[in-house]
Amino acid sequence: MATPNGLARIETTGKKKQDNGVWYDDSSAPVRAQTIDELHSLQRKRSAPSTPKRSAPTTPIKGGAHSPFAVAISEEERHTQQMQSISASLASLTRETGPKVVKGDPAAKGEAAAQGAPSTPRAHQQHRHPAAPAIAVSDSSLKFTHVLNNLSPAELYEQAIKYEKGSFITSTGALATLSGAKTGRSPRDKRVVKDEVTAQDLWWGKGSPNIEMDEKTFLINRERAVDYLNSLEKVFVNDQYLNWDPENRIKVRIISARAYHSLFMHNMCIRPTDEELEDFGTPDFTIYNAGQFPCNRYTHYMTSSTSIDLNLARREMVIMGTQYAGEMKKGLFGVMHYLMPKRGILSLHSGCNMGKDGDVALFFGLSGTGKTTLSTDHNRLLIGDDEHCWSDNGVSNIEGGCYAKCIDLAQEKEPDIWNAIKFGTVLENVVFDEHTREVDYADNSVTENTRAAYPIEYIPNAKIPCVGPHPKNVILLACDAFGVLPPVSKLNLAQTMYHFISGYTALVAGTEDGIKEPQATFSACFGAAFIMLHPTKYAAMLAEKMQKYGATGWLVNTGWSGGRYGVGKRIRLPYTRKIIDAIHSGELLTANYQKTEVFGLEIPTEINGVPSEILDPINTWTDKAAYKENLLRLGGLFKKNFEVFASYKIGDDSSLTDEILAAGPNF
């Protein structure tokens, strides 16, 4: 739902703070169902009594009255067969190399066999004959597992609808499906193997999202996942790319048990051509998604039946106990946050668009700041909405698709997203009419975190390929519910690093029991849940590239003016758009500036189309003492948040950290 000025409503639902201080805006909330049948009943909304009765499906039904499609065997029979296969697989002593998911291309067959590593079959073998998929013998040598390689969306639709309960085609042609009990990410269950290399490279400890595990535990979970995949009648394999920059792209292989997961990654990663598939070779990174099967809760480091495990040395990820597809997307983003900086490439959790003259802008912001709204501009080309790399070649999108929130989606507010929900799009956990299959985007019966995953080419003004020249503007968005940050400030490099590391916005809890206090929220680098290195390293890389390529940093407040939340009003969206336009055009580079107290921000005295009195927030407050009180309070919260970063050194030198600290609030 949007506020009257068109910006997204600020919510705290689904936003949880972990014990280590890291905020996550799409972490999993308890599912609103106790059984799988209850979950399915939530997904399908009964028509109103006045609705004329339609004819019922005529497909013969086996396995329950609620199933609208025929299934080959009952769920009980399938479960029994799977458990028997698992038992047989557990008896095997030859599971070390994992499932034989592919045969290997002729050129690399000898090498792959010598190393015990799987390689890729020729594209024509996997892509043009889905009716006769490749068959690989599982390690137990007691059964066959059909391996479905790189199926098309139409083929994946067929697989999902025929074999996955809860999969339906909506009225616009999208595939609606359910992610099970987990309707968001499980950050407390995500772990990274800590070895000699990662112990030095990665950010560990207070404030870090990285939870450690050891190599042995990873291998135990990996073997359990592989055994489960081997026990199935079929598995799905995607061979795809990350990063549109051809010099720095990463080859990934995703092995999953669900057609829904395969279609999701088909949309979210970059799709190779048939020729590229023929020469794909050995992947740089592999995901084993056994999300339908739980980990062993009694295994060391485990705290639940869910575990998302990352081994950077083996270049592997294992998923167990959660079917939420976003774990794969964000897991690979974490991998890019590790691999790209090692090449001198900055990985960024940001939106990115480009003007007609080739001027590129990066947009950073947490949920509710207006990042999606402001980076979506019909006068500019969309390079990407979420994940990017900045190399010496310019900026490039990491992904091949978009993963948009759907709650309260409306055609008049988000026409591009609305029109992208068509055949090929995956809709997660939405509610639809039982007969018409029309989706009710306001219905949160299953979860608030409803999502749509679609290829980026479904957006009309997407730039294909998704690359651009070096950014001219780096825009940091904050929704300040304290009402004390200016609508726009020009930042120097040290200030850009400080506010980039801080990753600030503010949340308000709602008005059920009256007006609540604003709650400051900080997420390092505007994506603390996904970064692997210390935030200062990313900030230093950002400043280096901005300086090298002449980019300017901006802090834009889309929050309150004239008072804090409950007293003042949210800054009007048309004014914010005028500010963004003035940044794009270069108007603000030649404006006159004055400096604010406490934060020391440079604010323009005049912008075309924006009332001058709102540019300095103190002018809009009737109670000047209350303004000063809230300003000092917010400055104190910034300082407290930054304490975890204050002692960081790059080598033996603390001068960079000292410079960044000096760019923060002073009082």
pLDDT digits (tens, 9 = 90+) for 613-627: 999 999 999 999 999
- Residue 273's Cα: distance from chain center in Å? 25
Q: For this structure, is 330 an active site residue?
A: yes
Tokens read off for 122: 């020729």
Handedness of CA 292, 294, 295, 301 (dihedral sign): positive
**Structural domain boundaries enclosing 556:** 472-662
Q: Does the pLDDT value for residue 583 go beyond 50?
A: yes
pLDDT at position 308 is 97
pLDDT at position 515 is 41
pLDDT at position 26 is 73
Catalytic residue among 251, 371, 380, 572: 371
Is the model more confident about 66 or about 389? 389
Which residue bears the tokens 């048939």? 274
Q: Classify 619 as helix, strand or coil.
A: helix
Residue 168: CB atoms within 10 Å = 20
Catalytic residue among 262, 372, 496, 620: 372
Within a domain: residue 616?
yes
Q: Does the pLDDT value for residue 16 go beyond 60?
A: no
Across 97-101, 374-378, 535-539, 546-550, least confident range: 97-101
What is the mean predicted confidence (pLDDT) over 140-168? 89
Q: Which amino acid is at 150?
A: N
Residue 393: CB atoms within 10 Å = 16
Catalytic residue among 103, 222, 266, 451: 451
Alpha-carbon gap, residue 538 to 544, rounded angstroms: 10
- 470, 83 contact by CB (below 8 A): no
142: left (phi over 0), alpha (psi -120 to 50) or beta: alpha
- 181, 431 contact by CB (below 8 A): no
Q: What is the β-pairing status of strands 401-405 and 451-455?
A: antiparallel
Q: Work out the mean pLDDT of the chain and round it to a whole number.
A: 85
Alpha-carbon gap, residue 228 to 214, rounded angstroms: 22
Q: Classify 112 as helix, strand or coil.
A: helix
Catalytic residue among 191, 330, 388, 570: 330
Give the closest residue to 604 by CA, choosing from 538, 556, 662, 665.
556
pLDDT at position 34 is 78
Percent of the chain surpassing pLDDT 70: 79
Q: Does the pLDDT value for residue 290 go beyond 50?
A: yes
Give the closest residue to 400 by CA, choosing from 312, 467, 450.
467
Give the DSSP letter of residue 570: E
What is the mean predicted confidence (pLDDT) over 479-488? 97
Element (H, E) at 221: helix 215-231
Q: For this structure, is 371 an active site residue?
A: yes
pLDDT at position 297 is 85
Handedness of CA 288, 294, 300, 303 (dihedral sign): positive
* First and final C-alpha spacing in the chain: 38
What is the mean predicted confidence (pLDDT) over 464-485? 98
Sorting pLDDT into bands at 50, 70 and 90, what band is 7?
A: low
What is the mean predicted confidence (pLDDT) over 640-660? 82
Q: For this structure, is 127 an active site residue?
A: no
Alpha-carbon gap, residue 307 to 180, rounded angstroms: 15
Within a domain: residue 602?
yes
Is the model more confident about 433 or about 78? 433
Element (H, E) at 452: strand 451-455
- 462, 456 contact by CB (below 8 A): yes
Sorting pLDDT into bands at 50, 70 and 90, what band is 93?
A: very low
- 206, 20 contact by CB (below 8 A): yes
Within a domain: residue 271?
no
Within a domain: residue 38?
no
Q: Which amino acid is at 60?
A: P
Alpha-carbon gap, residue 415 to 28, rounded angstroms: 28
Q: For this structure, is 367 an active site residue?
A: yes
Tell me the per-residue pLDDT of 623-639, one tens digit each, with 9 for 90 and over: 999 999 999 999 999 99
| Omega before 187 within 30 of 0, i.e. cis | no
Catalytic residue among 307, 367, 536, 576: 367
pLDDT at position 487 is 98
Q: Classify 217 as helix, strand or coil.
A: helix
Quick one: three-class SS letters along 11-52? CCCCCEECCCCCEECCECCCCCCCCHHHHHHHHEECCCCCCC
Give the closest residue to 451 by CA, choosing from 423, 433, 426, 422.
426
Within a domain: residue 499?
yes
Radius of gyration of the chain (CA): 25
- 120, 280 contact by CB (below 8 A): yes
Burial class (CB in 10 A: 0-12, 13-18, 19+), 76: exposed
What is the mean predicted confidence (pLDDT) over 594-607? 97
Q: Beta partners for 520?
A: 506
Catalytic residue among 103, 349, 545, 584: 349
Half-sphere exposure of 230 (CA within 13 A, CB side): 29
Alpha-carbon gap, residue 539 to 524, rounded angstroms: 10
Catalytic residue among 15, 185, 249, 329: 185
CA 642, 580, 480, 489: dihedral to nearest 10 degrees?
50
Sorting pLDDT into bands at 50, 70 and 90, what band is 167?
A: very high
Percent of the chain surpassing pLDDT 90: 71
Alpha-carbon gap, residue 491 to 502, rounded angstroms: 14
Within a domain: residue 433?
no
Within a domain: residue 540?
yes
Q: For this structure, is 386 an active site residue?
A: yes
Number of domains within the chain: 1
Q: Which amino acid is at 493?
A: L
Any idea what the CATH number is for the domain that residue 658 is in?
A: 3.90.228.20
Within a domain: residue 75?
no
Q: Beta partners for 602?
A: 490, 595
Sorting pLDDT into bands at 50, 70 and 90, what band is 75?
A: low
- 178, 431 contact by CB (below 8 A): no
Tell me the per-residue pLDDT of 530-552, one tens digit each, with 9 for 90 and over: 999 999 999 999 999 999 999 99
The C-alpha angle with vertex 385 and arms to 529 and 615, in degrees rounded to 5, equals 90
Which residue bears the tokens 């999701």? 264
User: Cα–Cα distances in Å, from 438 out to 40, 170, 428, 443, 494?
Assistant: 16, 6, 14, 12, 50
